[in-house]
């Protein structure tokens, strides 16, 4: 008689799935997003209309494009307070270079990419060389870029805004890539939504399926321990800052191609929105924990809240209150999820 292996206890199998679910960084954000969606579906009648949801997704994507690399940077244990004004810098460089050099718009776009990546490299290089906190390094970059944005714009254009480049060669094709509208299933959507989803998919693949993803988690969990086992800590951190710069370039080109001109003072304070989206999505302030999907859910909560308040015809001044309350609740819930995940190991 042949012996057969005992079947696994179904209760144990289910418990394993539950434990894995409770250990996901984005669990709290998903629960919060569902609650916010139901709430505004009840209190704001236009919220569920297709055009309204399209607007919500667009608002989410403008934050989400930057929240993705900011989340990866936070998982790596660092911050970037220059991310908001870097978006504006990217747009200003494209606009002024194209206009002043009377060059094809794509030339300005290319120069902007190089300049923006250089800023990201500068942040990472200074961090790894000086060993100063990223808060200090990127705060300095934030102040320098804020001054340069305003100073150069006034020097070259004579005002605080750039000249229009809407009639220049290459503008229409650049707008198609960075600021066009698409019709999917009869719903009008901004191309930034595709950029956003693509970046989330790419970042998730990097985090979960590549050696670089392991390096990011290791660096955030403990740089010294990671270095001891052969992780290229400095290169990883520089790469993360350049990823933030690359996404700032995408956001900056969208800003420019949407409005033809750029105000030099834009972007100040947006860095906190990116960080908030990442934290709501499950990233810990201490590093080593989080996900790109969570940052997307956090950005979606931002979009639903900012537009849901408008559709409910409330005073938009309440938006910051709701955002702060969600940040606190998400942080508490994320800490609970993390403790549950550690206890189940």
pLDDT surpassing 90 at residue 330: no
pLDDT for res 20: 67
Q: Which residues contact 253 (CB under 8 A, 6 or more apart)?
A: 90, 91, 94, 109, 112, 174, 177, 178, 179
Q: Name the range with the highest mean pLDDT among 3-12, 210-219, 328-337.
A: 210-219
Q: What is the pTM of this model?
A: 0.90
Q: What is the pLDDT of residue 151?
A: 93
- Cβ-count burial 164-197 (b if 16+ within 10 Å, e if not): ebeebebbeebbeebbbeeeeeeeebbbbbebbe
Q: Are 275 and 74 in contact (CB under 8 A)?
A: yes
pLDDT at position 128:
96
Q: Does the pLDDT of residue 30 top 60, yes or no? A: yes
Q: Would you call 161 helix, strand, or coil by DSSP?
A: strand
* pLDDT score of 38 more than 60: yes
Give mean pLDDT, residues 211-236: 95
Radius of gyration of the chain (CA): 22
pLDDT tens for 292-327 read 999 999 999 999 999 999 998 988 888 888 878 877
| Architecture of domain 53-343 in this structure | Orthogonal Bundle (1.10)
For residue range 63-80, list pLDDT tens digits in order: 999 999 999 999 999 999
Question: Could you give the percent of the chain with pLDDT greater than 70?
Answer: 90
The confidence band for 338, taking pLDDT boundaries of 50, 70 and 90, is low
Give the residue extent of every domain in the chain. 53-343
3-state secondary structure of 289: coil
**Using one digit for the tens of pLDDT, what is the confidence trace for 129-138?**
999 999 999 9
Report the SS3 class of residue 91.
Answer: helix
Mean pLDDT of the chain: 88
Give the residue-averaged pLDDT of 221-234. Answer: 94
Question: What is the tens place of the pLDDT at every residue in 230-271?
Answer: 999 999 999 999 999 999 999 999 999 999 889 998 999 899
In the chain, % of residues over pLDDT 90: 63
The residue with tokens 């808060």 is 135
Task: Write down the pLDDT at residue 8.
Answer: 44
The contacts of residue 261 (CB under 8 Å, 6+ apart) are 95, 161, 162, 163, 164, 165
Per-residue pLDDT at 14 exceeds 60: no
pLDDT at 343: 65
């Amino acid at each position: 008689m042949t012996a057969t292996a005992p079947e696994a206890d179904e209760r144990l199998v289910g418990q394993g799935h539950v434990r894995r679910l409770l250990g996901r960084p984005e669990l709290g954000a998903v629960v919060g997003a569902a609650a916010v969606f139901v709430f505004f579906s009840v209190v704001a009648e236009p919220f569920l209309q297709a055009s309204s949801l399209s607007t919500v997704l667009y608002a989410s994507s403008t934050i989400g494009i930057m929240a993705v690399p900011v989340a990866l940077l936070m998982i790596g244990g660092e911050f970037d307070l220059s991310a908001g004004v870097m978006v504006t810098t990217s747009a200003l460089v494209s606009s002024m270079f194209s206009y002043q050099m009377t060059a094809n718009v794509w030339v300005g776009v290319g120069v902007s990419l190089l300049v923006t990546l250089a800023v990201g490299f500068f942040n990472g290089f200074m961090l790894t060389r000086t060993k100063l906190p990223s808060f200090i390094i990127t705060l300095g970059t934030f102040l320098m870029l804020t001054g340069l944005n305003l100073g150069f714009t006034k020097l070259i254009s004579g005002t605080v805004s750039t000249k229009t480049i809407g009639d220049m060669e290459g503008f229409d094709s650049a707008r198609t890539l960075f600021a066009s509208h698409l019709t999917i299933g009869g719903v009008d959507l901004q191309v930034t939504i595709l950029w956003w989803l693509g970046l989330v998919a790419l970042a998730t693949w990097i985090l979960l399926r590549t050696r670089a993803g392991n390096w990011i988690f290791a660096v955030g969990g403990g740089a010294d321990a990671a270095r001891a086992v052969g992780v290229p800590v400095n290169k990883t951190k520089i790469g993360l800052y350049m990823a933030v710069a690359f996404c700032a370039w995408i956001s900056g080109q969208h800003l420019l191609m949407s409005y033809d001109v750029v105000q030099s003072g834009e972007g100040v304070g947006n860095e906190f929105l990116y960080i908030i989206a990442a934290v709501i999505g499950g990233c810990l302030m201490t590093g080593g924990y989080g996900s790109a999907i969570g940052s997307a859910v956090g950005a979606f909560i931002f979009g639903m809240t900012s537009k849901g308040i408008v559709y409910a015809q409330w005073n938009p001044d309440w938006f910051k209150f709701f955002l702060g309350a969600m940040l606190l609740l998400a942080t508490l819930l994320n800490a609970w999820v993390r403790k549950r995940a550690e206890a189940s190991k």
